[in-house]
A and B are shown apart, each in its own frame.
Chain A
């Protein structure tokens, strides 16, 4: 089944403790991106990647890092999480970046 898989689905952590949210897609998509979803603010893009070793900032990149060493994986890294990064995170992909996105089922992160 074609899908975008995120792990974990739920994560509770403390301020400053580094964490990684993984994202993997099995559709051989070139384009991948990360969004955060907050009440009243909709989906906002954090980072995106047009292809392997090609990443770029989205609208809200501060406090986040990403890497794209393989086409299928696009992990989101929070080096020093803070409470304002408490949010619902979505990974998404598309074949070349001009088609509708395929989304994962989300990771709910709480930073205390």
Chain B
């Protein structure tokens, strides 16, 4: 069936380095993608989104890249800080519908001092 998955379950980076978290999706009909951050003991928090008519979108210290050819999504975090330590989820849906949102299983990012 259709699925959203993450390449690596864990990622450790040095404070100040850039982080890249990857996500593969298999539903070619997906046209809206979201990254969420989940800190320990909290619910997922929206980071950034991108629609399928874009290849790149930038936020504050974060950039999302979308490669529709290979169905790949990545989240880049610049100058990673201790507060960035969390689980990161990608999610995909069609027509932006929240009720059809499918989440990946998450990547644990650990920022080393």
Contact = CB atoms under 8 A, between A and B. Distances in A.
Contacts of B96: 98-99
Interface stretch (A11-19, A64-72, A77-85, A101-109): A101-109
A35 to B, nearest CB: 8
B78 interface: no
A45 B101 CA distance: 8
Interface residues of A, number: 26
Q: How large is the interface on B (under 10, 10 to 19, 20 to 34, 35 or more residues)?
A: 20 to 34
B74 to A, nearest CB: 18
Contacts, number: 58
B60 interface: no
Interface in A30-67: 31, 33, 40-45, 48, 50, 56, 58
Interface in B58-113: 89, 95-99, 101, 103-106
Contacts of A42: 4, 89, 103-106
B103 to A, nearest CB: 4
B21 interface: no
A83 B35 CA distance: 31
